[in-house]
Structure 1
Amino acid sequence: MGEWLSIIGIGEDGPAGLSEASRDALAAAEVVFGGPRHLAMIAHPDKRAWPVPFSLAPLLALRGRRVAVLASGNPFWHGAGGSIARQIGPGEWRAFPAPSVFSRAAAQMGWRLEETPCIGLHAAPHERLRPHLAPGQRLIVTLRDGAAPQALAEWLAEMGFGASLVTVLERLGGPSARIRATRADGFDLADITAPVAAAIEVAGAGRVLTRASGLADDFFEHDGQITKRPVRALALSALAPRPGEMLWDLGAGSGSVGIEWLLAHPAMRAVGVESDATRAARARANAARLGCDRLEIREGRALDVLPALPRPDAVFVGGGMEENLLNALWACLPGGTRLVVHGVTLETEALLASWHGAKGGQMLRIELAEAAPLGRRRGWKSAYPVVQWSVTR
């Protein structure tokens, strides 16, 4: 087919900020695609705005003609570039990136970009920031519109981080750029104009999500069906999450194991299966609140749902394992999948002991006791022992 598409990053300074190569590519284009704001910056006889909802179909229909796409800054950082490159062969397009909003914001703030999490909130909930909220942390976020900075500040205050300094950066790179700062809990900025970003210096006494496995149980809403913190930490250790991997959490309950799996790395993926609709809704809510809205919860019996699940790298079954489910798992799991099963009842322990003898792996018996009041003194209150079988298929 040959090269027919130019993906051009454009800033708030418009065509004046384009490189000579970018200007040549734009001049040679028969058709130019972009958002209304970008299209208004240029003169061209055939300008076409992206459809709403967004679709690449009109662009792909022009394959073979000279086409240019305008995108903000670097098209491959929260831009259309990645979506386009997945649909078009590597020899069909060429990119002309400009400085991204994140690069411009970091340069204005004097922050090292490699040390600063950069998060796109223009089409995502504030909760995506939740894992990053810790005193002293610096964040740069892109926002949807002029009303978004105040909503972000209010959310930070609700989370206990109202002392955070929020610097609002408007129209960076253009002649009307403006930079203003305020505390989150005293947000008093008005007349904010998009495109807008915020640089956040986190401060306050809100609860911080620890990076080690085993969040406190009260981070999760639950009805008692939850893998408790010490046992969850051992489960995640055995599941051994690696960047980009997919987890099946069968019998998701509160969603705690799937959520902590996702917190291990932003590229992690997880599907939870839960037969109880109320628990499924609770797991979704827990995931959203803790910044893991990408946790997918499917309702139904595990045996019924298994055939439609994406290929896993690890599988966790937190309780209620039966031989028919174990047989089904062993039959469908690809080689190399890590399987971790917990059991509390004698029947499940006997089942896991039998499979351990036949298939190998590791068996652990986890016995925990917690200090609790005993009259006027204290004593050990033991929990039910948990048997863990972990094996690689």
Structure 2
Amino acid sequence: MITVIGLHNPQLLPDALRERVLGCDLLVGGARHLAAFPETKGQRIAIDARVEELLDRLVATHAAGKKIVVLASGDPLWYGIGATLRRRFTPEQLEIIPAPTAVQLAFAALGEPWNDALLLSAHGHPLEPVISRLLQAPGRAAILTDTCNTPGRIAARLLAAGFPDCAAAVCERLGESRQRIVRAQLSEIREQSFDALNVLVLFPPATATEERPFGLNDEELEHDGLITHLEVRAVALALLRLRPDSVIWDLGAGSGSVALEAACIAWRGQVYAVERDRSRVERLRQNLERWGNTRIQVVEGEAPQVCEGWPDPDAIFIGGSGGQLVELIDYCTQRLQPGGRIVINLVTLELLQTALAALGAHGLRTEVRQVVVSRSRPLRGQTYLAALNPVYIVSAGQPEEMDVDV
């Protein structure tokens, strides 16, 4: 049996666990942890980058029946050595004894609940996936940092990516006599330096997107009359078959009506919206500011040129082509993820024929729906139905992906 002990304050370690540490044949831990037990008589190994060599040594020592203790910070199974040990040892071979994690201590020091917090680690991990997760789910969050991915660097990257300049806190040396809590705006955190042992906590404000139901009325959006109407929008979004983590391109985004609704469905994903008309881009940004969504990246420019740096999409909506429909389709079919969908809204028969020919040339199976919507209007104390312009909705995907009707 290998005993894995999580530490918070070594001086508060119960006597029974201290005896295990002092009486073991092999003591493993970080240099800081080992220094807390200088009186240990067994062999000592400091954890460094040579993890596989360490695991080999532990397997051999365990096979010899020796007593092994591994020291870790907080909960060894939360971004700790516990997950590494499980690569070589079964649960029955490990006795995990956790202590409070740095995140628990941070929220306790702040007096803030954390049952709904997003918990991430940039400690020894690439920063980009952390930034991506924070942009996808911009709620209360705690991030473990290190000397490379410091609070200042994380704050700078978040703000550059459009994350709100929200309230934040850096909690240093938690549980020690030198504990320090710094509360500030994220932009202020960006300019400061902190002790290497810290946790960064973010408190972005709740957005209107989190509070509203799916379905925005046309009148709730700023637009110039050219908008994907609510009823047509609902059908197009259904045909895109979005998942919570989908990456979506909205080409010819206009007012952003489709992008906003798509971001509600793909609440852990990302939406990239491009619009070439500057006045429409301004209206789009106004709609994003009103309804609040950090998962939508707006680009003013011409598709497909501006799409080069975007991740390959799971779904593409084309609401406007700027006279380059064939070129857009050619580009989109090359970038679309396996199993992805392309949905195109059109109003003329000529463009419908062009789209079907271009999609068919790439071996995609297509379906066409005509959506005709009438809305009630008052008429001399009574009600009549006024028709909107009919819209053709083309959906396309690989043949095996198009067998299920929506």
TM-score, normalised on structure 1?
0.57
Q: 1:380 to 1:24 in 2, by over 3 A?
A: farther
Letter matched to residue 136 of structure 2: P
Q: By how many angstroms is 1:284 displaced?
A: 6.3
Is the CA contact (8 Å cut-off) linking 2:151 and 2:200 kept in structure 1? Answer: yes
Aligned residue for 1:81?
82
Aligned residue for 1:156?
158
2:132 to 124, 127, 130: 127
For structure 1, the residue ranges without an aligned partner over 5 or more in a row are 215-227, 265-277, 287-300, 307-314, 320-343, 354-362, 370-378
2:46 to 43, 46, 49: 49
Cα RMSD (Å) of the superposition?
A: 5.0
Is the CA contact (8 Å cut-off) linking 2:6 and 2:98 kept in structure 1? Answer: yes
Output the CA distance in 1 between the equivalents of 2:212 and 2:31: 41
Output the CA distance in 2 between the equivalents of 1:351 and 1:187: 50
Same amino acid, percent of matched pairs: 21
1:386 to 358, 376, 395: 395
5 Å-filtered alignment, 1:259-270, equals: 263=268
1:20 to 6, 12, 15: 15
For structure 2, the residue ranges without an aligned partner over 5 or more in a row are 216-231, 251-258, 270-305, 315-333, 344-354, 374-387
Letter matched to residue 105 of structure 2: R
Letter matched to residue 71 of structure 2: L
Output the CA distance in 2 between the equivalents of 1:174 and 1:154: 28
Is the CA contact (8 Å cut-off) linking 2:371 and 2:392 kept in structure 1? Answer: yes
Aligned residue for 2:33?
38
Output the CA distance in 1 between the equivalents of 2:210 and 2:50: 35
Is the CA contact (8 Å cut-off) linking 2:106 and 2:171 kept in structure 1? Answer: yes
Aligned residue for 1:345?
356
Aligned residue for 2:68?
67
Q: By how many angstroms is 1:104 displaced?
A: 0.5
Letter matched to residue 8 of structure 1: I
Aligned residue for 1:330?
none
Q: By how many angstroms is 1:102 displaced?
A: 1.0
Is the CA contact (8 Å cut-off) linking 2:372 and 2:389 kept in structure 1? Answer: no
Aligned residue for 1:200?
202
Aligned residue for 1:29?
24
Letter matched to residue 60 of structure 1: V
Output the CA distance in 2 between the equivalents of 1:60 and 1:232: 56
Return 17-26 or 169-178, whichever deviates more. 17-26
Task: Report the 3-state secondary structure (helix = DSSP H, G, I; strand = E; otherwise coil) of the residue aligned with 2:311.
Answer: helix
Task: Report the 3-state secondary structure (helix = DSSP H, G, I; strand = E; otherwise coil) of the residue aligned with 1:99.
Answer: coil
Report the count of equivalent residues: 289
Task: Report the 3-state secondary structure (helix = DSSP H, G, I; strand = E; otherwise coil) of the residue aligned with 2:174.
Answer: coil
Aligned residue for 1:178?
180
Letter matched to residue 42 of structure 1: F
Letter matched to residue 165 of structure 1: A
Is the CA contact (8 Å cut-off) linking 1:22 and 1:96 kept in structure 2? Answer: no
Task: Report the 3-state secondary structure (helix = DSSP H, G, I; strand = E; otherwise coil) of the residue aligned with 1:118.
Answer: strand
Aligned residue for 1:282?
310
Task: Report the 3-state secondary structure (helix = DSSP H, G, I; strand = E; otherwise coil) of the residue aligned with 2:86.
Answer: helix
Q: 1:262 to 1:199 in 2, by over 3 A?
A: closer
